Amino acid sequence: MSGFGFVLAVLFMTVVAPLWIIFHYITKWRSQRGLSAQDERLLAELWEIANRLEGRIHTLERVLDAEAPNWRNKI
């Protein structure tokens, strides 16, 4: 009976345990492939900030074009 338990333990450690670990991490990888809700909120917030900054830059360029028309050539 002792030999049978040893064979089962070796079989488990060489076949079942590695497959179990591999499939566990494949499942975790697939579940984390998409964005989480927090990541989506952060991305939307960063998008909004970038749009506001772009608007400010355009406004600044219009003001500079009106006040100092050759400012682009000085750079």
The beta strand positions in 1-49, using DSSP E, are none
The helix/strand/coil state of 25 is helix
Please give the Cα distance from 51 to 61 (Å, whole number).
Answer: 15
Instruction: Give residue 1's pLDDT.
Output: 58
Task: Name the pLDDT band for 36 (thresholds 50, 70, 90).
Answer: confident
**pLDDT tens digits for 1-23?**
578 888 889 988 999 999 999 99
pLDDT tens digits, 37-75: 898 999 999 999 999 999 999 999 999 999 998 888 876
The residues spanned by each domain of the chain are: 1-33, 36-75
Is 24 in contact with 31 (CB distance < 8 Å)? no
